[in-house]
Amino acid sequence: MSGPTRAPPPGAFLRDARFWAALLAAPLLWAAGYVWLSPPTDWGWPLRHPRELLYFALLYPLIEELLFRGLLQGRLLRYAPLRRHWHGLSGANLLTSAVFTGLHFLMHPPLAAAAVLAPSLIFGYFRDRHGRLEASMVLHMFYNLGYFWVFG
């Protein structure tokens, strides 16, 4: 009989090659979105409005990760059927990401709201993989930083 599984130590995600791949994928996605959508971009807005950048890139992702991956996904993982994985994604992650994406439809244009699904699944994957919120928080902050810088 094995003992309880322990969460990895803080910062263990930094030794995870998949984390770095997910981090490096973000600039590729921003570039593809920029080429495809050709948004009118004001590259200097974060320097003129640093408070807004802090909200979008740090505060909101932190709160969203605590609520969605921490509270909701954490609670859903208590149920055995939602701990099962399909192609690397837990049922808890799939359900949490559906709720997270659905709520974005309330405040964003449909295409932007739908585009939240893939990053949400990635954040949830790392929450499951590491049993902690650090990796999902860092990824969410980084993804938001680039998204709002490019697409404002």
What is the number of structural domains in the chain?
Answer: 1
Residue 85 belongs to a domain: yes
**Which tens digit of pLDDT belongs to each residue from 60-93?**
999 999 999 999 999 999 999 999 999 999 999 9
The alpha-helical segments, DSSP class H, found in the chain are 17-37, 45-48, 50-54, 60-64, 73-76, 80-83, 91-104, 110-114, 117-130, 134-151
The rounded Cα 75 to chain-centroid distance in angstroms is 18
Residue 1 belongs to a domain: no
Residue 2 belongs to a domain: no
Domain that holds residue 81: 52-151
Distance between CA atoms of residues 52 and 141, nearest Å: 13
**Which tens digit of pLDDT belongs to each residue from 28-52?**
989 998 998 888 888 898 889 999 9
Residue 137 belongs to a domain: yes
**Nearest alpha carbon to residue 101 among 64, 134, 74:** 64
Residue 116 belongs to a domain: yes
